[in-house]
Structure 1
Amino acid sequence: MRKLLLPSIIIVAASLLLIRIFYLQVINDTFKLKSDNNAIKIKYEYPERGYIYDRNGKLLVANQASYDIMVIPREIKNLDTLELCQLLDITKEDFLEKIAKAKVYSPRLPSVFLPQLNKSEYAAFQEKIRKFEGFYVQKRSLRDYEVDFGANIFGFITQVNDGIIKSNSYYKSGDLIGKQGVEQYYEDILRGVKGVKYFLKDKYNREIGSYKNGKYDTIAVQGEDINLTIDAEIQRYGEQLMINKRGGIVAIEPKTGEILALVTAPSYDPGILVGRQRSKNYTLLYNDSIAKPLYDRGLLAEYPPGSPFKILTGLVALQEGVIDENFTVFCRHGFSYARGRFMRCHCHGGALQLHRGIYESCNAYFGTAYMKTINKYVKPSYAVDVWSSHVKSFGLGQYMGYDLPTGRKGSIPTSKTYKRIYPNGGWRSTAIVSNSIGQGEVLATPIQLANMMATIANKGYYYTPHIIKKIKGEKIDPKFKIKHETTIDKKYFEPIISGLYDVYNLGTARGLKVDGIDICGKTGTAENFARIGGKRVQLEDHSIFVAFAPKDNPKIAIAVMVENGGFGATIAGPIASLMIEKYLRKKITRTDLEKRVLEKSLRSEYAKLGGMPEASTIETTPKDSISKIKDVKTNSAIDSTKKKIN
């Protein structure tokens, strides 16, 4: 028996192997399709990407036909290189470079030779295509932008690179993929599914019929349409208000977490990243290290939040029981503390309680409230962690989980922060009191500040901000329906909201009221330093404003950050008031504020950063490139200064 065991194992194993080979080669031949088979030609049919609409059904992004010239290097024969170059308006050097790249990819497989021809370019090439063996046309679908705003929201479409091809078998050379914005985040939904057809070839490389009578062919499936939460009108309006300025605006619907507007400035017309000039235009945008039009300041820029952070300082102090509504601080336009600590203040001074402390934005009041919070506990390190935990429950100091592919955490310090800064210990509340007014080690992004105001409007809860409202045929991620509760009791929000309401009536924003709309808001001014010529220089402060409206049953929460804009009520405050009125009423009555904002240019301030010429256009294009970038749809130079407000 033992003598027969080994031969039996060998015979059984060999039989199984032969059966498997027979199955793969005779019965199931799908592996032939996956191999580099010279006898089979593969053709792809590319579906249209899903359309993109705003929350009200307005079409934002559609599609247009595009044509790529593909090349199979091994099949090139008797080519008149000069005629091809003249026809396609390329140089011989360009031709040689493209052919060399195609050969590296594969001599036998097709790759893109020249992408994104328009209809007239395609027609001219199609007339003479018979002369150019080895070349053929692949029809694709490119984006057709129906609006000239929202570039940071949409992202753009670009060709896949080698890294993507290697990591994802779906993509082949020349395929398009979404980058940045919703195009990237919802790529799998928007792209659809390619159709595939297999053809047999003879020894002369001619098609002689479909493979297996089309048994393995598939049809293309169009991408799903999506509706964004964005309101197109206030998005457009926000971008117009931010012309000649830098910063971000984020507006959120408090009761749902839906993002109503996501503005970054400077921005650009999304249409310039379509067509044969896409690569050139993208390079111009990418290389502008001063204006950074590709940098989404609403999601990525981390700023000291300034006085809006006093709202959280007050809420934490109330929750910890170290103050109440009647707690009084005497302010002499600042306050002194142990070891010579001093904090300047711009309020009217005198005895202040919580309500007046909010609407006059008293540094002394909130500095005192913060130190009482820290001093409540014996160990300052433990106290800081308690304070930090409260603040983080509002979504600050962490990634928020929204459905866009970029973001920053901001910074809310903990005991670990100060162990690094003060390795020998010995620090007290006086050393970190700047946190109380949104300076110190505190940083936040505009979307975090907008979410903070949505949370306050809701009196203690928020939903994760998101930009998707509806996906045709599918449900949105259920995580956007989860309510996040803060660590602050609901009863403490009432006195804070009362103070925020009187910011418009009695306080720092009293000149920004909109008749008939009860707005709760808070001005902010954050110190701004930059390194110029190797020296740390203090520049004009950042202008900050946060708000929500109406006071009862809030429908919009907003954060506005304008770099180098000065006091919060100077530029950020008017923008917030205008955005709120535009959303709630669909019109503007404060035309005086609108005129002030539109005429305000901060180019001279930005000229201090890297020597930008004061007269350069920074609002929608890179520095000094206004004459270089063309709108592929109208072939006219982009000039956002010509945009009109309806």
Structure 2
Amino acid sequence: MESRARQRFIIVTFFIICMIILAGRLVFLQLINKEYKITASNNVLRYEIIYPSRGLIYDRNGNIMVENQFAYDILITPRELVPFDTTAFCSIFNLDRERLEQMLEEVHSRRRVIGYQSVIFLRQVSSQEYTRFLEKSYKFLGFSVQTRSVRSYPSQICGNLPGYIIEADQSFLDKNPEYRPGDYIGKTGLEEFYEKWLRGEKGYSIFLRDVHNRIKSPYEDGAYDKTAVPGKDMFTTIDLPLQRFGEELMRNKVGSVVALDPSTGEVLTLITSTGLSSEYLTNFGSYYPQVIADPLKPLFNRAIMSAYPPGSVFKLVNGLIGLQEGVLKPETRYSCNMGYRAGSLTVGCHSHPSPTNLMQSVMMSCNAYYCNVLRSILDNPAYGRIGESMNKWQEYVKSFGFGTRLGIDIPGELSGSLPGTALYDKIYGAGRWRSLTVISLSIGQGEIGATPLQLANLAAIMANRGHYYTPHLVREIREEPSFSPRVERHQVMVDPEHFEVIVEGMYQAVNAPAGSGATARLAAIPDLVLCGKTGTAQNPHGEDNSVFICFAPKDNPKIAVAVYIEQGGFGASQAAPVASLLVEKYLTGEIHPSRQWLYERTLEQDLVTRHLQ
């Protein structure tokens, strides 16, 4: 009896405990936790996503480069869609009836995937269309309005620098679950690289609605709303007036201009021409077919993506390597009779006084001189075989930032190309090539390729006499005190004392008197000491490319510039005027009256037609 009574007690107790747990859970769900109540009430509630305004982008002086403006999207929720007056809908948004039916069919085909979500049906409707829709929204169950901010650009600058905003595709959503369909993301440029700072954090408001889909009031007085958090403002290193001036100088030309502050690595201008017009950026998707069809490839950021032959500006590097290796001295003289000749091989050169020493060879840009220099480096008896000396040469060149990414804070940077023993062994066979085989490297031709950013970095190295800082585009992110740009100081493998003779050659190239053979006298600026080096890079697809690098002043430099103009011809004819005018504008604020003719001539130059041909 006692055993049976104990069993009955246990069973009764168990059921009582279960009932208490169940009752407690029901009380929690119905009286305490409102989430399930909200979920169950979705048929009378409407969630409106509040998109945060993206962080503003400023230049180094506080000028706005990128700001925000309101835009309105029409959303559709397929599960709530009911038959509606399509004629009235088309009238509001100026739509063709056939186009509307096609769009509805596309939504219907994705109905299962969309589920109960709302997706964008019409993007960036006008404020007038938005107002008309609000007045009659009760007639269109399943449609709603979403307000968000889009980018606007007070100054018309090259769009490749800030980048553009576009709706996230499915592959991005799969990798980034914090985003949802319809969200916009930064694509290319600063917008992409600094997305996590610029994007902000979405919020939402919950509203009660009536049977006509009209909003009646906030749910629970907004107790369950979430406030959107704006993106963080960002201050760049760009000098906006200088950027605009540089783009003006590059009008109707194809190429790039990069200007750096050599003392910090800050990027003052980053120009690709012809680049992406900022007019396309606000609603880039609408212009995408037009941009893709453009034969000048405006999406291609030449400043960081083009691996061009550097041409004669690379002679500076070979000269410095020769000095460091001890196979070249400042007083070393070589003759030039319109070029360098060895057996059946000839590397042509222009007419200039001969023979030249090292400083004069830079000033006159003598090809024959640097053919001799490269052969001295590669045939150096200190190395057992040419493969060893070539690898050492490659190591030197890499320390100047060639053949590697410099680490700029913008997506898409390429490393360029830097040949070495492995490449030539593969092409010619081990031990089956000599210094004459690769003689084109002496004048920056052949298998070497450099981006305009790397050439600007070379100008900064010359300005600093042997070191550079990581090029970077952002100085500060407001409300993010822990942020600081990733900047490192890099020392090249050439001792600083070897730079003076090369820098003097760059000074003479610009400032030597007429008749001296100087190649860049056109770049001379009154009352300002500019040091520069011209380059003419061979182009198998048309006329030669025009190249110029420079820095100023000679002592305590403030700016280092590289200009690369495709099919521009001789370096001093096109690239040098653009670079020197940019430097003059930055350091003096104006163009000297004696150089107005050069400014006007530069603006009148039209090389785009030549490039297309």
Q: Does 1:580 align with 2:579?
A: no
Q: Give the drift of 1:205.
A: 8.1
Q: In the superposition, relative to structure 1, how do residues 32 and 408 fare at CA in structure 2: closer, same or farther (>3 Å)?
A: farther
Q: Give the drift of 1:266.
A: 1.1
1:291 to 271, 287, 296: 296
CA distance in 2, matches of 1:428, 1:284: 49
Q: Give the drift of 1:311.
A: 0.4
Q: Map of 1:604-643 to 2, 5 A cutoff?
A: 604-608=609-613
Q: Which runs of 5+ in 1 are unaligned?
A: 1-10, 531-538, 609-646
CA distance in 2, matches of 1:181, 1:597: 28
Q: Give the drift of 1:208.
A: 8.8
Residue in 1 that maps onto 2:124: 116
8 Å contact kept, 2:347–2:367: yes
Q: Does 1:562 align with 2:573?
A: no
Residue in 2 that maps onto 1:325: 330
Q: Give the drift of 1:273.
A: 3.0
CA distance in 1, matches of 2:77, 2:530: 64
Aligned partner of 1:431: which letter? T
1:405 to 401, 411, 414: 411
CA distance in 1, matches of 2:553, 2:546: 23
- Secondary structure at 1:83 match in 2: helix
Q: In the superposition, relative to structure 1, how do residues 420 and 34 fare at CA in structure 2: closer, same or farther (>3 Å)?
A: farther
Residue in 2 that maps onto 1:183: 191
Q: Deviations over 1:368-416 (max 9, x none)?
A: 1111111112221111111111111111111121110112111111111
Q: Map of 1:81-120 to 2, 5 A cutoff?
A: 81-103=86-108, 104=110, 105-120=113-128
Aligned partner of 1:251: which letter? A
CA distance in 2, matches of 1:273, 1:97: 27
8 Å contact kept, 2:313–2:444: yes
Q: Give the drift of 1:158.
A: 1.4
CA distance in 2, matches of 1:33, 1:403: 44
CA distance in 2, matches of 1:115, 1:35: 31
Residue in 1 that maps onto 2:467: 461
Q: Map of 1:464-483 to 2, 5 A cutoff?
A: 464-475=470-481, 478=484, 480-483=486-489
CA distance in 2, matches of 1:393, 1:547: 20
Residue in 2 that maps onto 1:599: 604
Aligned partner of 1:602: which letter? L
Residue in 2 that maps onto 1:144: 152
Residue in 1 that maps onto 2:379: 375
Q: Give the drift of 1:22.
A: 6.8
Residue in 2 that maps onto 1:353: 357
Q: Give the drift of 1:603.
A: 3.4
CA distance in 2, matches of 1:259, 1:354: 31
Residue in 2 that maps onto 1:343: 347
Q: Does 1:73 align with 2:78?
A: yes
More deviation, 166-175/516-525: 166-175
CA distance in 2, matches of 1:233, 1:202: 54
Q: Give the drift of 1:143.
A: 1.1
Aligned partner of 2:506: which letter? L
- Secondary structure at 2:571 match in 1: coil
More deviation, 413-422/355-364: 413-422
Q: Deviations over 1:142-187 (max 9, x none)?
A: 1121011131111111111122222212222222111111111111
Q: Give the drift of 1:234.
A: 1.2
Q: Deviations over 1:461-511 (max 9, x none)?
A: 111111112210224755633211111111111111111111102310113
2:390 to 360, 384, 402: 384
Aligned partner of 2:335: which letter? F
Residue in 1 that maps onto 2:421: 415
Q: Which runs of 5+ in 2 are unaligned?
A: 1-13, 513-517
CA distance in 2, matches of 1:514, 1:501: 12
* TM-score normalised according to structure 2 size: 0.89
8 Å contact kept, 2:568–2:574: yes
8 Å contact kept, 2:138–2:214: no
Residue in 1 that maps onto 2:8: none
Residue in 2 that maps onto 1:440: 446
- Secondary structure at 2:161 match in 1: helix
Q: In the superposition, relative to structure 1, how do residues 218 and 606 fare at CA in structure 2: closer, same or farther (>3 Å)?
A: same
CA distance in 1, matches of 2:223, 2:262: 53
8 Å contact kept, 1:248–1:263: yes
Q: Give the drift of 1:300.
A: 1.1
Q: In the superposition, relative to structure 1, how do residues 307 and 32 fare at CA in structure 2: closer, same or farther (>3 Å)?
A: farther
- Secondary structure at 2:267 match in 1: strand
8 Å contact kept, 1:548–1:557: yes
More deviation, 71-80/166-175: 166-175
* TM-score normalised according to structure 1 size: 0.84
CA distance in 1, matches of 2:257, 2:478: 28
More deviation, 514-523/74-83: 74-83
8 Å contact kept, 1:347–1:362: no
CA RMSD of aligned residues (A): 2.7
8 Å contact kept, 1:73–1:99: no
Q: In the superposition, relative to structure 1, how do residues 170 and 216 fare at CA in structure 2: closer, same or farther (>3 Å)?
A: farther
CA distance in 2, matches of 1:114, 1:251: 41
Task: Point out the structure with max Rg over C-alpha.
Answer: 2
Q: Does 1:526 align with 2:530?
A: no
- Secondary structure at 2:67 match in 1: strand
- Secondary structure at 1:154 match in 2: coil
CA distance in 2, matches of 1:602, 1:437: 25
8 Å contact kept, 1:336–1:342: yes
Q: Deviations over 1:438-480 (max 9, x none)?
A: 0011100101100111111111111111111221022475563
CA distance in 2, matches of 1:279, 1:175: 14
Q: Give the drift of 1:46.
A: 1.1
Residue in 2 that maps onto 1:625: none
How many residues end up aligned between the 2 structures? 580
Residue in 2 that maps onto 1:615: none
More deviation, 112-121/444-453: 112-121
Q: Give the drift of 1:101.
A: 3.8
- Secondary structure at 1:331 match in 2: coil
Aligned partner of 1:321: which letter? G
- Secondary structure at 2:328 match in 1: coil
